[in-house]
Amino acid sequence: MGKELAIQVRHIGKRYKIGQREPYKTLRDAIANMTSAPIKLLKQRNKLVKNRSSQEYFWALKDISFDVERGEIMGFFGRNGAGKSTLLKILSRITMPTEGDITMHGRVGSLLEVGTGFHPELTGRENIFLNGSILGMRKGEIEDKFDEIVKFSDVERFLDTPVKRYSSGMYVRLAFAVAANFDSEILLVDEVLAVGDSQFQKKCLAKMGQIAEEGRTVLLISHNLASISALCSKAIVLKGGSIDFLSNNVNEAIQHYLGQIGEISKISLADRTDRQGKGQIRMIHFAPYNDKGCEQTIITSGQFVDFRIYYNNIVNIDRNNIISAINIVTQTGPLVSLLNNQVASEPFESIPGQGYISCIVEKLPLVPGIFTVNLVIKQNEIVQDLILDAATLIVEPGDFYRTGKIPPSSPGCVFFDQKWSVVSV
């Protein structure tokens, strides 16, 4: 006999209309119009139906079905726009599905965005009671949990300070502490591990593991694949609003996702036919390596990285003035980093017939995210080999500044080493 189900989702779909909103009308307006001009109203309704038929709709979710057993931690991941957050908003009843049915057994607690349910003018203490009430906790229940919430959030010093003066890390610590200590049978968490320092992230992971051991259920959205792997017992990969892969083996789901985000990069560079250049030097493999010389699938902000381009010198003779470049771009296209031996040092005077070109970055400055790599090798400014979308880089959050804190980040930005001081004048 299987475990008891906590969540049953059957054929959930969510449709949005593309374009302008329909004009808002009150019930009083509708009744007045109906009594004063029924024929006019009928004509307007027919016109509205006709307009609706020509409007364009977008399905953010389509035919989503899955079960979650009590005490399971299920991870959801996928590229931006895959429908992850929309699904959690439907499960938390923030928005209603267009079609399908959901059955949830037990009280639901959610942490979907940093500071959701907080009032900026209220203090941390007051917001604990406000946020707890929004989640469905009674006042006595909040009072019983109050000390535990404060201890977990580590904001006791600022408890009577308005939260508008809190950092994003303090916001999320307090919000997670309230949600995690709410005696809900089901906890929905969206990207809480993207904010806060590394020590707090470890506390979050440990707390979610404890919640599952208590027989409660956790649904977690995260781009931090290492956390998903360590914490979850089941995972779903979403793509274009549909389930692309569902597995009880989380690592299988992660490997599928890595293939999904880099379909073209799964083809060996040696076999790529969409290359440009004279072709006397050909790139056959590219990958990041760690300081132990091991090839990496996922790299971390702040870590040592050795980017290696393996090549064949087809004519097998020394070639002078060799230039190699690694262009790193975001998913939406902007260039964020240009690694180039001509700019950073000097062109290579010669290269052997076979080998690899190494570009070492002592502290990777990229923020967490997914990036595309374009590669080129030139000789005397003549392109020998150029491959666009040669590889996909997946960057996890890391302690770039070696302070024990995970720095906040935005897509497309990079980290800088920096020294701060105060000087009297």
Tell me the domain boundaries of the chain.
Answer: 5-261, 268-396
What does the pLDDT read at residue 405?
79
Statement: residue 75 has pLDDT above 60: yes
What does the pLDDT read at residue 288?
95
User: What mean pLDDT value characterizes the chain?
Assistant: 82
Question: Which fold does the domain 268-396 belong to in CATH?
Answer: Coagulation Factor XIII; Chain A, domain 1 (2.70.50)
* Alpha carbon distance 375, 247 (integer Å): 34
What is the b/e burial string over 276-296, where b = at least 16 CB atoms within 10 angstroms of the residue's CB? ebeebbbbbebbbbeeeeeee
- When computed from its CA atoms, the radius of gyration of the chain, rounded to whole angstroms, is 27
Q: How confident is the model at residue 67 (pLDDT cuts 50, 70, 90)?
A: very high
- Same topology, domains 5-261 and 268-396? Answer is no
* Alpha carbon distance 354, 136 (integer Å): 66
| Residues whose CB is less than 8 angstroms from the CB of residue 149 and which lie 6 or more positions away in sequence, other chains included | 128, 174, 177, 178, 181
Contact yes or no for 311/355 (Cβ under 8 A): yes
Bigger pLDDT: 373 vs 224 = 373
pTM score: 0.60
Bigger pLDDT: 359 vs 352 = 359
Closest to 234 (Cα-Cα) out of 253, 211, 259 = 253
Q: How confident is the model at residue 54 (pLDDT cuts 50, 70, 90)?
A: low
In angstroms, the Cα distances linking 148 to 79, 152, 156, 345, 400 are 36, 6, 11, 55, 31
- Give the mean model confidence (pLDDT) for residues 227-244: 88
Q: Dihedral angle at the C-alpha atoms of 112, 117, 120, 126, nearest 10 degrees? A: -130
Question: Which fold does the domain 5-261 belong to in CATH?
Answer: Rossmann fold (3.40.50)
What does the pLDDT read at residue 301?
92
* Alpha carbon distance 393, 339 (integer Å): 14
Tens-place pLDDT, residues 264-274: 556 788 888 88
Statement: residue 233 has pLDDT above 90: no
Could you tell me how many residues make up the chain?
Answer: 425
Q: How confident is the model at residue 22 (pLDDT cuts 50, 70, 90)?
A: very low
Tens-place pLDDT, residues 137-196: 888 989 999 999 999 888 889 999 998 888 777 887 888 888 888 778 898 888 765 555
DSSP summary character for residue 154: T
- Give the mean model confidence (pLDDT) for residues 280-307: 93
SS3 content of the chain, % helix, strand, coil (to 5): 30, 35, 35
